[in-house]
Amino acid sequence: MEAATSACGREPWNKGKLIGQKAPFRLKEIWAIRVRLELQGRMRDLALFNRGIDSKLRACDLVQLRVRDVSNGERAAARAKVMQQKTGQPVQFELTGPTRLAVEAWIAAAHLKAGDFLFPSWLHDSPHIGTRQYARIVDSWVEEIGLDSSAYGTHSMRRTKPSLIYRRTKNLRAVQLLLGHSKLESTVRYLGIEVEDALELAEQTDA
């Protein structure tokens, strides 16, 4: 299908290209990427990868995080809240121990201050990495572990944790809250399940 309107309110970088729903990462793929980044000492990429998986944020929200959004002084926060650009609504997320350690290490190594962007750009015309740069980084991770980058993308990062949680719990309402979706149909599309099945599951959860 053709690219949809950008969630950030700007013209999408993939306008006019044929795209499809990107697959979430499986556990073994998450660990393959994570271990590779750790062994290679790629601190920024490790923090970006872990943060992307844990936060479930859209690319436009993830790249604009500031240090103060995710840390209290030198310590990474266990929980954070971010205002979504697409919906204008806040979304809260918890961060695992490995993610907090990776973020703390990156902040210290990059000498970042509270008001700095968490992932600054190396380009002079941008204060933080852009969504295109983030997409290229994700593609490089995917290719490095031998996967087809056309099947994965930044939405894979956003979809991974909700997909894992849904497979374990079948709790559609919980996943909807985690993603910050206002409509159940949006969550259904992300999970790739049938609407009728999703509504039935939601009713069972509410019962």
Over residues 130-155, the pLDDT tens digits come to 999 999 999 999 999 999 999 999 99
Task: Write out the residue range of the structural domain in which residue 86 sits.
Answer: 27-151
Give the Å distances, CA to CA, from 14 to 87, 111, 152, 195. Answer: 21, 34, 14, 27
Rounded to whole angstroms, the Cα distance separating 207 from 201 reads: 10
- What gap in Å lies between CA 44 and CA 46, rounded to an integer? 5
Predicted confidence (pLDDT) at residue 2 exceeds the cutoff of 50: no
Helices (H), 5-58: 27-39, 43-55
Contact 156, 24 (CB under 8 A): yes
- Position 60, amino acid: C
Is position 180 within any domain? no
- Structure confidence by residue, pLDDT tens digits, 77-98: 999 999 988 888 888 888 999 9
Which pLDDT belongs to residue 188?
81
Q: Encoding tokens for residue 95?
A: 């961060």
- Whether residue 140 is contained in a domain is answered as yes
Domain membership flag for residue 52: yes
Q: What is the pLDDT of residues 151-180, one digit of tens each?
A: 999 999 988 988 888 888 888 888 888 888
The CATH number covering residue 84 comes to 1.10.443.10
Q: Could you tell me which residue, 73 or 51, shows the higher pLDDT?
A: 51
Entry pTM? 0.80
Distances (CA, A) of 39 to 32, 93, 99, 147, 187: 11, 27, 16, 19, 35
Place of tokens 């999703």: 198
Residue 176 lies in a domain: no
Does some domain include residue 122? yes
Inside any domain, residue 9: no
pLDDT tens digits for range 99-130 = 999 999 999 999 999 999 999 997 767 899 99
Total of domains in the chain: 1
Position 31 in a domain:
yes
| CA torsion, ordered 101, 106, 109, 114, to nearest 10 deg | -100
How high is the pLDDT of residue 196?
Answer: 47
Residue 168 and residue 60: Cα distance in Å, rounded? 28
Let me know if residue 178 belongs to a domain: no
